[in-house]
Structure 1
Amino acid sequence: MAVTGRIDGVPSEVWDEEVLAPQFGYEAEALLPHYVSIEKVLLLEYRRMGLVDQEGTAAIAGRLDELTPELIRADPRDNMSDIFFAMERHVARGGTTPFAAWHVDRSRNDFQACGQLLSSRENVRALADGLIAFGRTVAARAAELPDSPMPGYTHAQAAQTVTPAFYLSALSEETLDAARRLLATYDGIDRSPLGAGSMAGQELPWDRERMAALLGFRQPQPHALMAVASRSWALGVASELSTFAVLLSRFTTDLMTWSGAGFGFVDFPDDLAGISAAMPQKRNFPVLERIRGRCSHVVGCAAQLAFAQHGTPYANSVEVSKEAGRHLREQFAALRSALRLAHTALATATFRTDRMREACEGDFLGAFTLANRLTLEAGVPWRTAQVIAGAYVRAAIAKGLTAATPDGPLLAAVAEEHGHRVPEPGALLAGSLDADRAVRVKRSTGSTHPDAVRAMLAAQDRGYREVAGQWRLRAETASAAAARVDALLADASTDGPTNASTEGPTQAGTP
């Protein structure tokens, strides 16, 4: 049986090998389960509208359940290497001939758009689970190290004393924010294209609200053209994925620096390490380079997705739905991989608190605190206090001193040079430059103070539980919808038409 009367012939070998067969293979592997779900919902609508009887419903539902990637194959002669036609062929070749109205008033456009969106929603939910698991591991690592001083850096220079817990809690907070934003994005795209037809709507009274609900969507896309022409939802998802990839890449850059020569703040186990083929003393961490490289792929895919859409007409086209859409699935794969690698790396990392402390004590990271105390305790005007603190650091370095070897008389002399007398300069220095005191001197919420970090981690734990619960509800909605479709098909195969929410034709084949 032919699938077209307009074209005489079959797809060429080049066209099939380069485009059609690979596309068929991808759809069979990634989209077929969603296509089957869509077909089942359409079948329920045909039943509701009286276009198929219970025997036909049972037969077609059974044939749809047989569909697997192994069962159907791209065949340019039999199905033009199109999965939509291949599915039709499989149903038509069953023991029971499909009812005459099988696929009447239907289009591939909304069918494919719906399948792509269902697949992307599934990928988004899986990615959200990965984000939450990653964030919780980061938070757990942070909880181990709230009291250990380490240098914090601005402009690539040591700036103030922080802790690994403070730093990691920032990564955890960012990850929690990403999971929340992704949830908002998911809810924003939770609208079914099914029922839009080719672009202008359909001629039968399809119950689009019911179909959307049966596929686990919150509602149908209200505009038929938007349903098949727009891929703004893909751009929105891609934007969120690339935003987190940029963030993860920046944190990975710090880990690359801190695990490298000259720092040694972070170490990774041998099973994540690499060696040099020529330099036997080297122990490399290419896993970090891989994470950052894959984050670059994620960002690049988002740009390619936007670029592939920007010059196209506002209508359904394979350039938008398939050529541009491939970048989104590549993006999901790249970020899943980067996130899995990062999760493993941070879960097994060793933070060398001894080296971090040594770095703090070898520098003058408490100079800001010293200037504050000169003003608050010795009455030195703030800008002058900054000058005195800086002059002390310069003089101390010239004498070969560090923060761990404060020199009270030197501070007193520097202060007198600037017209001020400082009482008990030794105590003032000791209280300002001590690394352990430096992490506890902060009082504002959100600071590096151990208590503030613990409070942030506790709030994050509540946040992860809340957002995980919201994502679980979305997953349960999708799962419950699939179960409901199967239950309704079982009923429709034995009883009369399923409950109708709109009036439909009562005679098979008569709109």
Structure 2
Amino acid sequence: MTDTSKFPDPVYRDTVLAPLFEGVKTHFAGHMDAINRAHLVMLLETGILSPEDGARIADALRAIADDTDIAALTYTGEHEDYFFLVEAELRDRLGDLGGALHTARSRNDMDHTLFKMELRRRAEGLQNQLLTLAEAVAAKARAEAETLIVAYTHGQPAQPTTFGHYLCAALEVILRDAARLDAAIDGLEHCPMGAAAITTSGFPIDRARMADLLGFDGPLVNSYGCIASVDYVTGLYSAVKLVFVHLGRVIQDMAFWSSFEVGQLYVPNSLVQISSIMPQKRNPVPIEHMRHLASVTAGRCDMVVNTMHNTPFTDMNDSEGEVQQAGYAAFGSGGRVLELLATFLSSCSIRADRVAANMDAACVTITELADTLVRDEGLSFRQAHEIAAATARAVIARHAPLREGFSAFREAFADLAGHAPDLEEAGFRIAVAPETFVARRNRTGGPAPAALQSALADYTETLAGLRAAAQSRTTRRREATTRLDDAFAALTET
């Protein structure tokens, strides 16, 4: 049977090759140019190419860059992809020498290198936004260190704490997520160039030099793994997903706190939309946008990770252009959440009147009464708990605040302990005051001012370390770009 068909089939061209070509134009062409220039420098430095041939190829690469309007290119199918288009341009200018640039490399190691280069750019941008959010949360926590709120468990009022204490809990998670993202970015820091198709090359290449010129920390050692192991993709998107799973929970609290029934969070007019028909409505819809964008981002991360599931441990298109490009949407939607949440938390405030009303209605300081009875009356905690519970039931039934429940307390104490308490009404009122509750919880991690300030100092140090790590990578990239530019320019100097 004679096959007279020619590549590419029009449908394959339009459904696969053309979209991939557009993706390269948008995301990867600049990285490919950097790889071409770095590879040429390395080929000359190792003696694989002569200085004369290297100078001619360098001049041709410059001319192609100057003459090509990448954004205006349209995929025709004449060349399989952007790589072959550039190689064809080199050969048009240099004849057979134009094919020499591809000595000792493959599209395989080139692809995974440029994928890493683009991912690290996006991941570092997201990390910067995450650290900016952390800084905003830390600043708000300092400002609200003594602002009382009701803390909830199982959707019910539980105990008093401060807004600063709550925000520090969120901040700890943000910093742990930032550390996980930092580690995932480190997973992008080793260069696949030199792996070639999968087993390196018979030429005396310098893989460390390639890594250095492209701003990596070093080469990724095992050449098979350079092509087959895509944990740099799954690790990164897993770390990104966790950021938005965790932030989504804080965002949901903001929805609950700002509800009419709870009302302890005030959202300013600048972040409230009105109803088109109900004039009384104040709808803090930015919360809903953050919530759904966080979920969309987590879903996009899942899409990338799940695409790798049950794929072979080898070179495969499942981890390449289509998936790489699809994943970038996660950085866009995720970045929007981080930016909006930083503004939202900085702008919101706590309504002291609603906090006080909810505390009074729910007896949220009753735990400290039980603790006080253990310390001052010599009761067991279980007996103290029973007396406190009876007191709470009595005042809630009367719709009275706990501070007005001394008579109910004395009655419950006498019934359950068999004698009158030493605690007098003034001491009772102090014991059940929310300020007392917070001040007495001065243990590590507690809401009391000294404990909270100590924790904030630790968070600030952690945040500075993450900023320093990010800055170190930025500096390395900038210095590598300078080295590459200088080395490439030197190829044609006489």
What's the TM-score, normalizing by structure 2? 0.93
The residue type paired with residue 234 of structure 1 is V
Report whether the alignment pairs 1:17 with 2:14.
yes
In 1, Cα distance between the equivalents of 2:8 and 2:352? 65
Q: In the alignment, which residue of structure 1 is the partner of 2:321? A: 322
In 2, Cα distance between the equivalents of 1:24 and 1:174? 40
Q: In the alignment, which residue of structure 2 is the partner of 1:30? A: 27
In 2, Cα distance between the equivalents of 1:232 and 1:238? 10
Residue aligned with 1:362, SS? helix
The structural deviation recorded for 1:111 is 0.6
Gap runs ≥5 in structure 1: 1-5, 496-511
Report whether the alignment pairs 1:46 with 2:43.
yes
The structural deviation recorded for 1:93 is 4.2
Answer whether contact 1:135 1:171 (CA < 8 A) is retained.
no
Larger displacement relative to structure 2 (64-73 or 28-37) = 64-73
In 2, Cα distance between the equivalents of 1:148 and 1:256? 19
Answer whether contact 2:144 2:163 (CA < 8 A) is retained.
yes
The structural deviation recorded for 1:451 is 2.1
The residue type paired with residue 415 of structure 2 is E
Q: In the alignment, which residue of structure 2 is the partner of 1:78? A: 78
Answer whether contact 2:131 2:178 (CA < 8 A) is retained.
yes
The structural deviation recorded for 1:38 is 0.8
The residue type paired with residue 9 of structure 1 is K
The residue type paired with residue 414 of structure 2 is E
Greater helix fraction, Structure 1 or Structure 2 = 2
Change in 2 beyond 3 A, CA 1:493/1:280 = same
Answer whether contact 1:63 1:90 (CA < 8 A) is retained.
no
In 2, Cα distance between the equivalents of 1:460 and 1:223? 38
Report whether the alignment pairs 1:177 with 2:176.
yes
The structural deviation recorded for 1:165 is 0.8
Change in 2 beyond 3 A, CA 1:458/1:100 = closer
Change in 2 beyond 3 A, CA 1:124/1:408 = same
The structural deviation recorded for 1:65 is 4.1
Cα root mean square deviation, aligned: 2.2
Residue aligned with 2:276, SS? coil
In 2, Cα distance between the equivalents of 1:353 and 1:56? 74
Q: In the alignment, which residue of structure 1 is the partner of 2:167? A: 168
Answer whether contact 1:370 1:432 (CA < 8 A) is retained.
yes
Q: Percent identity?
A: 26
The structural deviation recorded for 1:182 is 1.7
Q: In the alignment, which residue of structure 1 is the partner of 2:360? A: 361
**1:450-491 CA-partner distances (Å, limit 9, x unpaired):** 222222222222222222111101111011111101101122
The structural deviation recorded for 1:97 is 7.8
Larger RCO (alpha carbons 8 Å, 6+ apart): 1
In 2, Cα distance between the equivalents of 1:460 and 1:273? 31
What's the TM-score, normalizing by structure 1? 0.90
The residue type paired with residue 281 of structure 2 is K
Answer whether contact 1:60 1:98 (CA < 8 A) is retained.
no
Answer whether contact 1:32 1:68 (CA < 8 A) is retained.
no
In 2, Cα distance between the equivalents of 1:98 and 1:288? 59
Q: In the alignment, which residue of structure 1 is the partner of 2:342? A: 343
Larger displacement relative to structure 2 (298-307 or 164-173) = 298-307
The residue type paired with residue 242 of structure 2 is T
Answer whether contact 1:147 1:163 (CA < 8 A) is retained.
yes
Larger displacement relative to structure 2 (345-354 or 137-146) = 345-354
Q: In the alignment, which residue of structure 1 is the partner of 2:413? A: 415
In 2, Cα distance between the equivalents of 1:72 and 1:377? 81
Question: How many residue pairs are counted as aligned between the two chains?
Answer: 488
The residue type paired with residue 415 of structure 1 is F
Change in 2 beyond 3 A, CA 1:68/1:365 = farther
Answer whether contact 1:57 1:492 (CA < 8 A) is retained.
no
Q: In the alignment, which residue of structure 2 is the partner of 1:502? A: none
**1:428-467 CA-partner distances (Å, limit 9, x unpaired):** 4212211222211112011111222222222222222222
Change in 2 beyond 3 A, CA 1:129/1:42 = same
Larger displacement relative to structure 2 (321-330 or 183-192) = 321-330
In 2, Cα distance between the equivalents of 1:71 and 1:328? 21
Q: In the alignment, which residue of structure 2 is the partner of 1:501? A: none
The residue type paired with residue 269 of structure 1 is P
